[in-house]
Amino acid sequence: MQPFKPKVKAPAPELLHNMQTILQNNQLATVCEAAACPNRAECYSRGSATFMILGDVCTRACSFCNVKTGHGQKVDDEEPLRLASAIKDLNLKYVVITSVDRDDLKDYGAEHFAACVKSIKEHNPEIKIELLTPDFRNNKASLNAVIASDAYKLAHNQETVRRVSKSVRPQSNYDRSLKVLEYYAKNSNKIIKSSLMVGLGEREEELRESMRELLDVGVSELTIGQYLQPTPKHHSVEKYYDAQFFEDLKAEAYAIGFKAVASGILVRSSYFAEEL
């Protein structure tokens, strides 16, 4: 199989330094760095980042993900204020807040999500906030906590098709993710979003089935991107798709009823989130 060598725009050194300085001064983590996102150079050049709260150690171990795995870190009660301060310093108008899985916490970290939204809005009243949440093990109190927040959009990634999900997300559950998205859709008036990766071993008909299932539970926005193996230890890439495949899939997603779709080789769940 030919190795895939995507080309991404290199950031201006001063912009990269400014972003990293603000993050370091506020002791914040971004999924851009932790997950080795191929778009982080482009996002930094736009002064944008997806913030990762609740530490950078995940209590789950998905075979496609480059985030560290281990025991969850102590919840930092000062993080919401530092996050709000950094966002103000960066003069952002739209932010995505996500986190590692925190199965070690009673509420799975949901109240911390809500606290971050509250602090951000207090310091940046006009900002729009997208929450990309874990499944919280479908705990209704946790789901209600983020629904009650002043977030503009709620997202949870399905990641892959039902058959493949069992092997690449062994501590998660395909149907549980659907139930989380359905609960968000039925119990809020917020925009509901999800994401799929391709190249993990799925069949094209399975991918289309997952798209229909996401639409059926109330997801209106969808992102689709090529899986890229972070390190040799991670799940191998089973197939590379060409650009036309993603364009065709985007057209199909719109045709069956999705309201907004981003589909492309380097598209990730937070890619140009403010424009989706």
pLDDT > 70 fraction of the chain, expressed in percent and rounded: 84
State both tokens at 255: 């045709």
* Mean pLDDT confidence for 179-208: 97
For residue 159, the 8-state DSSP code is: B
Residue count (the chain): 276
- Give the distance, in angstroms, between the CA of residue 244 and the centroid of all CA atoms in the same chain: 24
pLDDT digits (tens, 9 = 90+) for 101-124: 999 999 999 999 999 999 999 999
**pTM of the shown model:** 0.89
pLDDT digits (tens, 9 = 90+) for 228-251: 888 888 888 999 999 999 999 999
- C-alpha 16/C-alpha 4 separation (Å) is 25
- C-alpha 38/C-alpha 36 separation (Å) is 6
Q: CA of 263: how far to CAs of 22, 239, 249, 253, 268, in Å?
A: 31, 16, 7, 9, 9
Per-residue pLDDT, 221:
97
Per-residue pLDDT, 9:
56
Instruction: Give me the chain's average pLDDT, please.
Output: 88
Per-residue pLDDT, 48:
67
State both tokens at 15: 């912009």
